[in-house]
Structure 1
Amino acid sequence: MESYKDVSELQAGTLLKEDVYCKTKYPIMRKGTELTLEHIEVLRVFGVNQVKVEEKLNNSDETNPDTSVDTDNTSDNLYWLKNPYDKAVQDYKREFNNWRFGQLPEVAKIRSFIIPLLEKFIAQKSMLAMINEFSTPEEYLYHHPIAMGILSAAIGKKMGYEKGDIIQLGLAGTLADSGMAKIAPSILEKTTSLSQEEFNEVKKHTLFSVKMIQTTPLIRQEMKLAILQHHERLDGSGYPRGEKMETILVFSQILAVADVFHAMTSDRLYRPKHSPFKVIEMIKEDEFGKFDIKVVDALQNLVGNLSIGTRVKLTNGELGEVMFLHRDAPLRPMIRKDSDGLIIDLSTNRDLVIEMIIE
């Protein structure tokens, strides 16, 4: 039975029937949370007077299927998405090898396998934070464009763009590194850091990419410009032209953020991956001034959206539950550890960060 209940009357074991907001854009506690004494105390701290709840039933026969909480079975979704994802990677790899021998991209063919895939991932948003788990260091060159297309489309959708723009962003993201086919394999397959001379060669790929798709009518002109600009930075530190601020399209920034996020969260032959939460933090802090904050916030809302009650795994392997969100540091909440029940504050324990959300 569901009803509104005063917070002062709540008991541990009660289930929240709807998200709880408190002058916030996102809920401070999610629907379906089984309340503990700590949750109830947090509600009091935030000044919440009443919440809609459902008493937890022990008799399964009494459970009303119409009021059960929706769940997202991550393992099932992971399996369901991995096969089409892997197929798209292999399809891209075949096309990439054709480009190495002088063929131009068949954009219609790219559309045929990337659009259905990005639609699947957008429908299962929890998988976006785990897309780096599909990648392998040995074939990163082919995984990265597929992931970049998916992430670019998802960010575009989160920012409110129309379906046509979302599809175009997905295509542009997938083809942004097509010019890598013109870079020497000895450079692309190197297992150590690149020399400055080698990096200068790699930087030419944005120009190569645009030249390769310049004549196709299936990609809009602004998306072709976004491909050229996806390594430009707002502070002028990017390439190929060192452009700044208003001369860089928002579409370019969407591709840029998707590119950096997947690159840094993926294992590479010459360095290990970082946590998605750590990468967003690095983009916002270490790379401050280089990326459009609206684009970064959209990515954060897609892959790092936490609320009280969210189950997480930390980078030290500990499992726990989000107990409190800091307004100024939402990616570094207070976590109650499963192992000993102690609460750790990630805002003061900077060596630790959330590795992933556990559905």
Structure 2
Amino acid sequence: MENFRSLNDLRPGTTVAEDIYANTVFPILRKGTILEMEHIETLYLFNIKQVKVEDRIVSRVQTDQQSAIDSDTIKSDVDQILNENVSRTVDIQTMYIKAVNQYKKEFSSWRSGMKLDIAKVRLIIMPLLETFMTHKNSLVILNEYSNRKDYLYHHAVSVGIVTAVLANELGYPKGTTLQLGLAGTLADCGMAKVNPVLLEKAAFLTNNEFIEVKKHPIYSFQMIQDSSLLRQEMKLAVLQHHERLDGSGYPRGDKSEKISPLSQILAVADVFHAMTCERVYRAKESLYRVVEMLKEEDFGKFDIDVLNILSELIGTPAAGDKVLLTNGESGEVTTINHKTPLRPSIKLKSNGEVVDLTTDYSIAIEKLVVK
């Protein structure tokens, strides 16, 4: 028999009776999954209210045996999906959610006065860095994992990932790439020293409140400066990750050659993830719109080579691609505008009308639709 069960009533060993989605292209849990506590935590994070389950409980021995069988099956499925250029996999989601939860615990300890242990953070983030550097196409779904309540922790983990993938694509040695990814994860650790009320405030901050929040790169630098596990140039990148090439950044207003190349990679990763996620005080933007804004509206603030790599990673739409637009319409790319490749002409599915996105900047591509 099958029935629906609320999350509070779920127990390890329960079998999922149907694929579970959370506004995602692929299921966050597949039919036939035998639940572990880690799965149940994932369901809570995605705000799933109830689950259709089979009316039986599998014993722990059965679960372990099935897990051994399923691990090979899941790996095969993941390889197949990634080979087909599809980003979302249950394995990566599970790894990611686990890392966010672990980082959240560490952050809470820093907030309570405990000393930052970089070795612990390194253990949390390194498996994800390695995974995303191998499967870089998964980068485009990071913002979909985030939620408003736990944005701060999602942001830390995601910035580390995006930073490492960018550095890897730019040709940096693997050791440097992994170190920079770790630095990206630690860039906002100083937020633990900022008044929590300011971080959770839905309204815009006052000038004095914003001045306090802008001290977080200094706090982050202070928290990591004595560790031998992070190279000095990585510590500088953390301190400078909110500096801008035109001198408009903070905390010191450094500009151009005074800003290290590594910090510029971290800066792009930081602002890209922030702008593509829903935060307490701001709605999220589409990946394509953000890249467009960073290249055009914020021209001169960021390293153009890093932005070009980011653009390549999220992918340029091609003729024939199915897309979802930010106004909710869907359609097919008909013509590429070579001067503005992120703004092609789209034939709308609803009425067959062809819309040139270069004529209406209030609309942008939300995402490519997997065929």
Measured against the shorter chain, the TM-score band is 0.7 to 0.9
Equivalent residue, structure 2, for 1:134: 145
Question: Which of these residues, 272, 277, 280, is aligned with residue 283 of structure 2?
Answer: 272
Instruction: Give the residue type in structure 2 aligned to 1:166.
Output: T
**1:242 and 2:267 are equivalent in the alignment:** no
Structure 1 residues 306-345: Cα deviation after superposition (integer angstroms, max 9, x where no partner): 3233322111222222222222101101222333333221
Distance 1:126 1:307 in 2: 16
Report percent identity of matched pairs. 52
Distance 2:319 2:122 in 1: 39
Equivalent residue, structure 2, for 1:290: 301
Equivalent residue, structure 2, for 1:122: 133
Distance 2:197 2:95 in 1: 30
Alignment of 1:134-173 (within 5 A): 134-173=145-184
Instruction: Give the residue type in structure 2 aligned to 1:342.
Output: E
Distance 1:144 1:293 in 2: 23
Alpha-carbon offset, residue 120 of structure 1: 2.0
Instruction: Work out the number of aligned pairs and report it.
Output: 289
**1:71 and 2:76 are equivalent in the alignment:** no
Equivalent residue, structure 2, for 1:217: 228
Structure 1 residues 189-225: Cα deviation after superposition (integer angstroms, max 9, x where no partner): 2122111111100111111111111111111111100
**1:303 and 2:299 are equivalent in the alignment:** no
Helix, strand or coil at the partner of 2:341: strand
**1:252 and 2:263 are equivalent in the alignment:** yes
Equivalent residue, structure 1, for 2:368: 357
Instruction: Give the residue type in structure 2 aligned to 1:154.
Output: V
Structure 1 residues 236-269: Cα deviation after superposition (integer angstroms, max 9, x where no partner): 1111111110010111111111111111111111
Structure 1 residues 85-136: Cα deviation after superposition (integer angstroms, max 9, x where no partner): 1111110011111111222221121111211112222333332122111111
Structure 2: which 5+ runs fail to align?
1-81
Equivalent residue, structure 2, for 1:87: 98
Equivalent residue, structure 2, for 1:313: 324
CA-atom RMSD in angstroms:
1.6
Distance 2:344 2:181 in 1: 32
The question of whether the paired residues in 2 share the 8 Å contact of 1:182 and 1:205 is answered with: yes
Distance 1:310 1:108 in 2: 44
**1:347 and 2:365 are equivalent in the alignment:** no
Equivalent residue, structure 2, for 1:50: none
Instruction: Give the residue type in structure 2 aligned to 1:107.
Output: I
Distance 2:166 2:286 in 1: 19
Distance 1:157 1:321 in 2: 32
Helix, strand or coil at the partner of 2:114: coil
The question of whether the paired residues in 1 share the 8 Å contact of 2:86 and 2:137 is answered with: no
The question of whether the paired residues in 1 share the 8 Å contact of 2:247 and 2:255 is answered with: yes
The question of whether the paired residues in 2 share the 8 Å contact of 1:147 and 1:262 is answered with: yes
Structure 1 residues 35-59: Cα deviation after superposition (integer angstroms, max 9, x where no partner): xxxxxxxxxxxxxxxxxxxxxxxxx
Alignment of 1:166-181 (within 5 A): 166-181=177-192
Equivalent residue, structure 2, for 1:208: 219
Instruction: Give the residue type in structure 1 aligned to 2:138.
Output: M
Equivalent residue, structure 2, for 1:332: 343
Equivalent residue, structure 2, for 1:46: none
Alignment of 1:92-103 (within 5 A): 92-103=103-114
Alpha-carbon offset, residue 70 of structure 1: 5.1
Instruction: Give the residue type in structure 1 aligned to 2:277.
Output: S
Q: Which has the higher contact order (CA 8 A, sep 6+)?
A: 1
Question: Which of these residues, 186, 191, 216, is aligned with residue 197 of structure 2?
Answer: 186
